[in-house]
Amino acid sequence: AQKVTQAQTEISVVEKEDVTLDCVYETRDTTYYLFWYKQPPSGELVFLIRRNSFDEQNEISGRYSWNFQKSTSSFNFTITASQVVDSAVYFCALSERRYGGSQGNLIFGKGTKLSVKP
Amino acid sequence: GAVVSQHPSRVICKSGTSVKIECRSLDFQATTMFWYRQFPKKSLMLMATSNEGSKATYEQGVEKDKFLINHASLTLSTLTVTSAHPEDSSFYICSARRRESADTQYFGPGTRLTVL
């Protein structure tokens, strides 16, 4: 069965601290995609990144970086020098492949609420 | 960009009435649209998947007659909550997947439904 686990329910940091959000996934598919989305208090989910299962290169985008390790089935997300505007719920997701049915459905983790205090 | 809009953003209705929520992809054609429901402090639960011009595929446990989905064009999908009850109060979010970017879903801002 496909599953995404975000073990950290809530994290609180002080501004300028670095913070890592963990994501562990389970799948039997050899081809899959992993995603991170940000949900600020307004409610809209903001797409942050998509990673193909064949691409294990780490990615950096400004203060954001992602560490994808297939050996541990993890796709962790690090925010460097956190800011108050980073406060949000962050969801990790896995695309699901259903044979004979719809493809590309997302399996979401339960989310990690990040609070960055000034 | 890949912008998805939802209308209305908030709706309050009386029990027994029907509510229609629209989801539009503004700057791209969406081959597939998804409808999710999110309870407070919970993750997103997929309700149904709709492809343009065909019937929606509902997830197990989601009542088809209760949550009517229509995907009339490549830029518009609607969710109608029929005979709404207080337990239908929730945050409903749609997403759209563009033809060119496999598997990436772009989400609308959500609709907060409150049934009195």
pLDDT in tens, B8-65: 999 999 999 999 999 999 988 888 899 999 988 888 999 999 888 788 999 999 999 9
Note whether B103 contacts A95, CB cutoff 8 Å: yes
In angstroms, the separation between the Cα of residue B47 and the nearest Cα of chain A is 11
Measure Cα distances from B30 to A67, A110, B82, B115 in Å.
30, 26, 25, 30
- Contact call for residues A108 and A95 (beta carbons, < 8 A): no
Most A CBs within 10 A among B34, B58, B103, hence the mutation to make, goes to B103
Note whether A44 contacts B107, CB cutoff 8 Å: yes
Note whether B93 contacts A42, CB cutoff 8 Å: no
Phi, psi of B60 (to 5 degrees): -60, 135
CA B66 – CA B18 distance, rounded (Å): 10
Note whether A105 contacts B104, CB cutoff 8 Å: no
pLDDT at B114: 96
Note whether A106 contacts B109, CB cutoff 8 Å: no
Name residue A52's amino acid. N
Span B67-91, average pLDDT = 94
Asked if residue B99 has pLDDT above 60, the reply is yes
pLDDT at A98: 56
User: Which member of B43, B108, B110 has the closest CB to residue A111?
Assistant: B43
Neighbours of A56 (CB within 10 A): 12
Question: Confidence class of residue B102 from pLDDT cuts 50, 70 and 90?
Answer: low
Run of H or E residues at B48: strand B44-51
Q: pLDDT digits over A22-75, tens only? A: 999 999 888 888 999 999 998 889 999 989 888 888 889 999 999 999 999 999
In angstroms, the separation between the Cα of residue A5 and the nearest Cα of chain B is 11
- Return the percentage of chain A with pLDDT > 70, whole number: 93
**Angle at Cα A73 formed by Cα A72 and Cα A74, nearest 5°?**
90
- Return the percentage of chain A with pLDDT > 90, whole number: 69
Question: Confidence class of residue B101 from pLDDT cuts 50, 70 and 90?
Answer: low
Tell me what the pLDDT averaged over chain B comes to: 91
Tell me what the pLDDT averaged over chain A comes to: 91
CA A92 – CA A109 distance, rounded (Å): 5
CA A48 – CA B94 distance, rounded (Å): 17
